[in-house]
């Protein structure tokens, strides 16, 4: 088990920005592919973004491309999600996720460990 704690969620107006952080403890995740997923009420959990251990290879859902940026600091065992131009449709619980080194972490089936989630609410 890899404890991961998300932070940075909250309430923001449409067009605003938030930065989510996910800190892993107890075990390094520097070699893991890390990702963010989200789940809105009544909907399935969906992929948002992921980043490989090289810190440069990234993947994004079409719905967030150009607005969200994923990054990581391996020395701090932390992954970030910068969210700009937020829309009410981005309202969801956002989950940090860790997958194997060789995975792109774009499917929930790829994920080995999950954080507990942080709520993002975007008001119109």
Q: How confident is the model at residue 30 (pLDDT cuts 50, 70, 90)?
A: confident
Cα separation values, 51 from 70, 100, 122, Å = 7, 12, 25
pLDDT of 70-110, one tens digit each?
999 999 999 999 999 999 999 999 999 999 999 999 999 99
| C-alpha to C-alpha distance for 3 and 114, rounded to whole angstroms | 8
Cβ atoms 72, 78 nearer than 8 A: yes
- Choose the weakest-confidence range: 21-25, 38-42, 56-60: 21-25
| C-alpha to C-alpha distance for 72 and 62, rounded to whole angstroms | 21
User: φ and ψ at 43, to 5 degrees?
Assistant: -120, 165
Mean pLDDT for the stretch of residues 45-61: 96
Question: Is a pLDDT exceeding 90 seen at residue 15?
Answer: yes
Give the pLDDT confidence score for residue 28 in this predicted structure: 76
Cβ atoms 103, 110 nearer than 8 A: yes
Give the pLDDT confidence score for residue 61 in this predicted structure: 98
């Amino acid at each position: 088990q890899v404890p991961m704690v998300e932070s940075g969620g909250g309430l923001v107006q449409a067009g605003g920005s938030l930065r989510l952080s996910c800190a892993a403890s107890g075990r390094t995740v520097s070699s893991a592919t890390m990702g963010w997923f989200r789940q809105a009420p009544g909907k399935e959990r969906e992929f948002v973004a992921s980043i490989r251990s090289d810190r440069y290879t990234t993947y994004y859902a079409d719905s967030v491309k150009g607005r969200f940026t994923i990054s990581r600091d391996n020395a701090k065992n932390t992954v970030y999600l910068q969210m700009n131009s937020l829309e009410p449709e981005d309202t969801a619980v956002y989950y940090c996720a860790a997958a194997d080194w060789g995975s792109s972490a774009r499917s929930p089936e790829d994920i080995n460990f999950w954080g507990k989630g942080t709520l993002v609410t975007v008001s119109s």
